[in-house]
Structures are given as structure tokens and as C-alpha cells.
């Protein structure tokens, strides 16, 4: 079972009861708190991780603007694509980890159902001469990154990284995706409540990341006339309305009152209704392995578990066509749960080609520790001088 499938099934289970004598605290050094202390689930602003949040107008049929978060002003560009239902803020802690080690520019796109515009975004931002760019995508964003790279939509692309997405396990997980979405809470009482749920359900195992990431995943219910969270409340009323048309006006009034009460008690809901994107799921992941292998650039695959690689990926890995690393103690959101480990493997496997000799000397931060790109020269031997 893949990490994505485990995450979906675990998310539907009730919270684990506290262990005897544990006081309800979670295991792990980062989870231990002093007696009587509560964990802080308050939201954190994006400005603590990014320098700016901007919009770029993309030239397409709809003419929509795409938002993106930026950090850094020099060096190669790391173009970050979030997973389904997430936002650019899911890369906040990852951004802080890599900016502290490598001098580069971070551009985290906020893709709202129009991931096909990645190439147009690059053109709108940098014109005909874009800087060196590396694409990094998580889950659905990883699939979009592969499609973008294989279509040669970014001419200056120097590297590609997919995070926890494999064609075989992704296609298998799609069968249970709707059940997973139905098992999630439809509404939340507050941002703190949403953050707490994400951590305790295991959707995001890093509290620091959850406090900024969940802010981009939910929105206030104002303006929603029939939130999904109120369905269970009004189901019985709807059945009664069909049987008794004479009281339709009073029933309609009661429905509106129940809707308003739901909004008042649970004012936050999911920003993206993933269930409505089901018709696109197959196209995102089918054929992903061959597209990934066909990209003639350095490639890295980061996984949360030992996923079942299909025949093409297994052969490709044995042939050295891409690098793969498994981070077993992470959930599906690998870059949020273990940002430092992701950055380390990114630097070791993909950044040497990205940061070549000239770029490395120019862009690597002075305080960063970077592995040498080639072994030091050996001392001269007697056979080299002709003395033997």
C-alpha cells in the first residue's frame, strides 16, 4: 500500500486515544510538551517565509491571473508546484530550508485548476530569456511538472523533481479518492481547528508547516449559499418538503436558518472542491512513468514509502536514468513533513547539474556546506614524470 493510500485510510480513522500516563501527548521528541502545556495551532502568516505574494496575468482563453509566492532575488529559479487541494503556502517551510543553504530564487505557484499554464507563467515572468529553472512538484504538481518538462514548455529547464507520485500507485489510489474526500470534515470552526485536524489526522505531520499551509487550503464560508457541511442537517427537512408542499415556505425558511447557523458555527470550508476535478485525475497520472523517463534532464524521485515501481521505472532506475530516495517516516506531504531532508537530497542529486561549476561558485551561499562536484586532484606519481 502506498503512502498516499495509507494517508487516505488513516485520515478516516478517529483520533487515537491518549496512552496511559501520557497526558494525551504525541510520541516523538518534537511532539513532547511540558506538563499542562498545549500545542500552538494558531496560524502563521506567509510573510514569515516568503518575501512577496504577486499575480501574473497569463495569456490564454480565460485571461486569468495566477498568484505566486516569491523569495530570493538572485540565482537559479526553483519553480514549485503544489499538490491537489494545496496551495503555494505548502512550500513555506521547504523554502526557508533551502534559502538558508543555497542562493536561489523561489517561485511557488498557486495553481487553481489551471496547471496547464506553467509554461505561459514562465514566459509572462521572464520573457524569451528565462533564467535556469528547476521544476519541483508534489503529487498532482509532480505530474504537472512532468507534463511541462516533456512538452518542452520551459526552454531553460535544468532539473526535475517529483515528490511522492508514481503512476501505478497513483492510479490505484484514485479508486478510493472519493471515499477519502467524503471522510474529511466539510467545515471547520476556525483556522486553529483546521490546523489541529491536519496534524492529528496525519495529513501534515509537521506542526510548523501546518500552521502556514492550512491557511491556503481553507476559506471562510461567506457567500456560499449551500455549504456541504449543512447537508446532513437539512436532509430530513428536504424529504419532509417533498411530502408536504403546503409548508414549503416555512421549511425553506428553516433551511436558510440552518445554513446560517452552520456558517456561524463552522465558518471555514475547503477552498478547492477536489471531488469536482475527478474527470481530470486519469489524465494527470496515466503514462506518467514514460513521460518522466523521457525528460533529458537530471531527475529525482522522492517517496514517502517503498512504493511499487512499475516495470518502466524499475528499469530506468537500474539504468541510472533518475535518482530515487525514500523518506519512510513521512506522510504524503513529504516536503512539509521533512523539508530539511528533501533539501539535502535535492542538493546532492539534482543541484550539481543545476549548479554547475560556474553557477556553483556564484550562487552557493558562503555559509552553505556543499559536497564537492569532483574529487580533488591526486599528487603526481613517478610514472607521470617518466622516472620509472
The catalytic residue among 86, 138, 147, 332 is: 332
**Residue 159 near residue 350 (C-beta atoms within 8 A):** yes
- The number of CA neighbours under 13 Å toward the Cβ of 384 is 4
Q: Please give the helix or strand (H or E) that residue 377 lies within, else none.
A: none
Q: What whole-number distance in Å separates Cα of residue 242 and Cα of residue 236?
A: 10
Residue 344 DSSP symbol:
H
The catalytic residue among 110, 117, 164, 337 is: 164
The catalytic residue among 139, 198, 209, 230 is: 139
In the numeric block, which cell numbers belong to residue 51?
Answer: 518575501
Q: How far is CA 262 from CA 68, 195, 225, 240, 339, in A?
A: 32, 19, 11, 20, 37
Q: Please give the helix or strand (H or E) that residue 94 lies within, else none.
A: helix 92-99
Q: Does the active-site annotation cover 110?
A: no
For residue 82, how many other CB atoms are within 10 A of its CB?
A: 28
Q: Does the active-site annotation cover 164?
A: yes
In the numeric block, which cell numbers belong to residue 306?
Answer: 517503498
In the numeric block, which cell numbers belong to residue 344?
Answer: 539535502
Q: List the one residue out of 150, 96, 163, 84 whose CA is nearest residue 119.
A: 150
Give ∠ CA 221-226-230 in degrees, rounded to 5.
85
Q: Does the active-site annotation cover 384?
A: no
Residues annotated catalytic, as ranges: 139, 164, 332
Amino acid at each position: 500500500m502506498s503512502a498516499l493510500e495509507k494517508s487516505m485510510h488513516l485520515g478516516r480513522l478517529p483520533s487515537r486515544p491518549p496512552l496511559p500516563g501520557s497526558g494525551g501527548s504525541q510520541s516523538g521528541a518534537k511532539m513532547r510538551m511540558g506538563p499542562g502545556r498545549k500545542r500552538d495551532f494558531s496560524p502563521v502568516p506567509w510573510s514569515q517565509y516568503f518575501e512577496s505574494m504577486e499575480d501574473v496575468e497569463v495569456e490564454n482563453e480565460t485571461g486569468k491571473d495566477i498568484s505566486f509566492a516569491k523569495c530570493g532575488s538572485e540565482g537559479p529559479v526553483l519553480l514549485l508546484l503544489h499538490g491537489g487541494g494545496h496551495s503555494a503556502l505548502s512550500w513555506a517551510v521547504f523554502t526557508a530550508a533551502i534559502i538558508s543553504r543555497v542562493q536561489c530564487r523561489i517561485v511557488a505557484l498557486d495553481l487553481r485548476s489551471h496547471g496547464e499554464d506553467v509554461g505561459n507563467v514562465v514566459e509572462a515572468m521572464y520573457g524569451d530569456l528565462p533564467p535556469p529553472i528547476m521544476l519541483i512538484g508534489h503529487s498532482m504538481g509532480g505530474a504537472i511538472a512532468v507534463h511541462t518538462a516533456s512538452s518542452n514548455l520551459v526552454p531553460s529547464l535544468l532539473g526535475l523533481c517529483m515528490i511522492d507520485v508514481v503512476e501505478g500507485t497513483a492510479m490505484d489510489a484514485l479508486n478510493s479518492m472519493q471515499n477519502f474526500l467524503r471522510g474529511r470534515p466539510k467545515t471547520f470552526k476556525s483556522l486553529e481547528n483546521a490546523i489541529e485536524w491536519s496534524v492529528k489526522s496525519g495529513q501534515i505531520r509537521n506542526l510548523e508547516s501546518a500552521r502556514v499551509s492550512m491557511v491556503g487550503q481553507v476559506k471562510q464560508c461567506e457567500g456560499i449559499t449551500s455549504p456541504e457541511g449543512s447537508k446532513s442537517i437539512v436532509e430530513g427537512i428536504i424529504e419532509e418538503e417533498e411530502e408536504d408542499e403546503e409548508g414549503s415556505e416555512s421549511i425553506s425558511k428553516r433551511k436558510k436558518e440552518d445554513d446560517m447557523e452552520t456558517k456561524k458555527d463552522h465558518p471555514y470550508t475547503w477552498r478547492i472542491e477536489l471531488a469536482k476535478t475527478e474527470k481530470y485525475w486519469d489524465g494527470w497520472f496515466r503514462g506518467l512513468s514514460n513521460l518522466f523517463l523521457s525528460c533529458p534532464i537530471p531527475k529525482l524521485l522522492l517517496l514517502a514509502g517503498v512504493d511499487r515501481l512499475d516495470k518502466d521505472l524499475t528499469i530506468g532506475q537500474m539504468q541510472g536514468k533518475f535518482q530515487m530516495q525514500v523518506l519512510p517516516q513521512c506522510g504524503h506531504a513529504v516536503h512539509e513533513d521533512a523539508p530539511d531532508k528533501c533539501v539535502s537530497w535535492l542538493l546532492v542529486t539534482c543541484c550539481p547539474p543545476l549548479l554547475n561549476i560556474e553557477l556553483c561558485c556564484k550562487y552557493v551561499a558562503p555559509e552553505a556546506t556543499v559536497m564537492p562536484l569532483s574529487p580533488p586532484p591526486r599528487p603526481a606519481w613517478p610514472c607521470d614524470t617518466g622516472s620509472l
